[in-house]
Chains A and B, each alone.
Chain A
């Protein structure tokens, strides 16, 4: 059974810092991996989607990498801003079950 783990559960950094969020998964037979952002009381917004054949994807200050063989992905946020404060979730799409399996998220606070 696929398990997706995100460490740390919470992170507090000063504005301007570069930071890395981690995601690990137990079953490497994934089709793709998505990183989402969730603001309090809101739905999830897909930030980046990496296909299993890809190593990384970039969007603005965000860069996501994928190492499928080791079961790991990272989300790099450059020059963090208070507006980046949110919960970040990763999710892997399982080809076998045709389902998206979510991690429990990392709650990020960027202090002004």
Chain B
């Protein structure tokens, strides 16, 4: 298996623009997680899905953030409009269950100017 695949690897955009991050989880993994990593706050869970259904989005910082999982092999995290404080590395991760090992993608480095 190719592992968790994220795209793009890097995204540079201007404040106010829409940003869409993409993730393909490992086949057979029923859980998908979106994390954000910054120097100041470390790794934060934004939202997670079980069988394509959002279960807990309490970590989504604002209404500007939204996430979807239209099918078992694809998820998006959208920021609209983007702000400089959204600059961070966004990770997607998947697992067969929340109590098992978590597999991370390589992340998307987002810079909002």
Taking beta carbons and an 8 Å cutoff, which residues of A are in contact with B?
31-32, 34, 36, 41-46, 49, 89, 91, 93, 98-100, 102-105
Number of interface residues of B (CB under 8 A): 20
Whether B103 and A46, one on each chain, are in contact in the complex, defined by CB atoms closer than 8 angstroms, is yes
B16 at the A/B interface (Cβ < 8 Å)? no
Contacts of A42 in B (CB 8 A): 106-107
Contacts of B98 in A (CB 8 A): 93, 98-100
From known contacts A43-B4, A45-B104, A99-B56, infer whether A104 and B42 are also in contact, taking CB-CB under 8 Å: yes
Whole-angstrom CA separation of A91 from B91 in the bound complex: 15
Shortest Cβ gap from A44 to chain B (Å): 4
What residue of chain B has the Cβ atom nearest to residue A89's Cβ?
Answer: B43
Which of chain B's residues 47-93 have a Cβ closer than 8 Å to chain A?
Answer: 55-56, 91, 93
23 intermolecular pairs with C-beta atoms under 8 Å apart? A31-B99, A32-B99, A34-B101, A34-B102, A41-B106, A41-B109, A42-B106, A43-B93, A43-B106, A44-B102, A44-B104, A45-B104, A46-B102, A49-B101, A89-B43, A98-B56, A100-B33, A100-B45, A100-B98, A100-B102, A102-B42, A103-B42, A105-B42
Contacts of A98 in B (CB 8 A): 55-56, 98
Whole-angstrom CA separation of A99 from B102 in the bound complex: 12
B105 at the A/B interface (Cβ < 8 Å)? yes
Shortest Cβ gap from A33 to chain B (Å): 11
